[in-house]
Amino acid sequence: MAVQTTGTWNFPTRVITGAGRIAELPEACRAQGIARPLLVTDHGLAKSALIEGIVRRIRDAGLPVGVFSDVKSNPTESNLLAGVDAFRAGGHDGVVAVGGGSALDVGKCVAFMVAQTRPVWDFEDVGDWWARAEIIGIAPIVAVPTTAGTGSEVGRAGVITREDTHEKKIIFHPQMMPKIAIEDPELAVGLPPFLTMATGMDALAHCFEAYCVNAFHPLADGIALEGLRIIDTYLPRAVDNGADLEARAYMFAAASMGATAFQKGLGAIHSVSHPVGARYDTHHGLTNGVMFPYVIVCNRSAIADKIPHIARALDLPGRDFDAVLAWILALRNRLGVPHTLAQLGVKEADVKAIAADAVKDPTAAANPRRLTAAEFEQLTLAAIRGDLEN
């Protein structure tokens, strides 16, 4: 019997999933009161047939649309400010964010910042800083992911690099969550194997770290474990065959599940990945994939009670720590994830600076073990050298 991969659900974003459902984008815009959308994407996608087709579809539906594509793979404040300027100059009333996590994050932040007078850094995900925001004027957002990684299409935050300090900052507000997301697996068919792998490792890290966070949230825990199972099953298939629509559909779902689950928090995989990406402009998901086993080893004593449940969800032959560690190492090897940060160009000379930023990253507080700056130095150095010893 054919696997069902078409559906619509609310959780709370309304997710429209299934092959060919990009055709419903104009209707989605109108449902959110968007009459003059600004389509936000990255410069790599901007001139693609995919974006040209989406723009034509919107215009043919009678909606004038502008395109903003000055978005780097690790987006900066400059990208965000340019997007806000384009939104205002074009008289737009909503955002259609199309692409990977970077484009979605910038699109969401543009929709949020058009209503603000304070600098974006005043809305970092710290305490209740989000309450500083002006709510009136925040633009509606429709998200269209083309990669299955960040899950930003259902998230309430965006990651922006602060250029003057080389820090990645998580900008948060509840109204940054898109009201509608369209997850059409056909849009991911052309994604190269490398990007399929790298974005998939981001989704995997979200599910794994969220489950390991020491917080009471049974709903998120269930979602995280099922997300792990789906990714373990379907990510290799998507890497091997980009036209596998079943695998693409399930990976979109798993990415959204990871972003839903990590409302519990994340951990040291992201705490290190953020400053590494800010300094070296590495792919975020790939960096997460590299850091994965080193953080598992670092957190071993603090996640002992979680390991049997993870192993069971993955149907591993063993239910102990060694089985889970062997699983992630084998999956990384199968997908071609580099084993060390050194392979991404990270230098030992930068370890102290990376650790200093990691310890104050918002994700560090939720790591199952509260790590000091010195411990982050040891963790980063181990990942550079490939040292998996306890």
Average pLDDT estimate for 42-65 = 94
Amino acid symbol at 100 = G
Backbone angles phi and psi of 170, in degrees to 5: -95, 115
Q: 0.85 exceeded by the pTM? A: yes
**Contact yes or no for 156/177 (Cβ under 8 A):** yes
**Contact yes or no for 151/256 (Cβ under 8 A):** yes
Strand, coil or helix: what is 97? strand
How far apart are alpha carbons 190 and 76 in whole angstroms? 26
Percent of the chain exceeding pLDDT 90 equals 93
Amino acid symbol at 65 = V
- In sequence order, which ranges of 64-157 are alpha helices (DSSP H)? 77-89, 101-113
How far apart are alpha carbons 241 and 70 in whole angstroms? 30
pLDDT at 390 over 70: no
Superfamily, domain 192-385: Dehydroquinate synthase-like - alpha domain (1.20.1090.10)
pLDDT at 4 over 90: no
pLDDT tens sequence across 12-30: 899 999 999 999 999 999 9
Burial class (CB in 10 A: 0-12, 13-18, 19+), 132: exposed
Which of 250, 151, 160 is CA-nearest to residue 209? 151
Handedness of CA 27, 32, 36, 42 (dihedral sign): negative
How far apart are alpha carbons 235 and 326 in whole angstroms? 17
Q: How many CB atoms lie within 10 A of CB 193?
A: 14
SS (H, E, C) 321-367: HHHHHHHHHHHHHHHCCCCCHHHHCCCHHHHHHHHHHHCCCHHHHHC
Structure tokens at 210: 């969220």
Rg of the chain's alpha carbons, rounded to an integer?
Answer: 20
What is the model's pLDDT at position 73?
86
The length of the chain in residues reads 390
CA torsion angle 82 137 125 145 (round to 10) = -60
Average pLDDT estimate for 187-206 = 96
Average pLDDT estimate for 103-113 = 97
pLDDT tens sequence across 342-353: 999 999 999 999
Average pLDDT estimate for 339-362 = 97
Find the largest Cα–Cα distance for the chain.
61
Average pLDDT estimate for 119-127 = 95
pLDDT tens sequence across 281-311: 999 999 999 999 999 999 999 999 999 999 9
pLDDT tens sequence across 320-330: 999 999 999 99
DSSP one-letter code for 390? -
What is the model's pLDDT at position 5?
83
CATH number of 7-187: 3.40.50.1970
Residue with tokens 């990871």: 258
Strand, coil or helix: what is 9? strand
| Domain limits, the chain | 7-187, 192-385
At 166, is the pLDDT very low, low, confident or very high (cuts 50, 70, 90)? confident
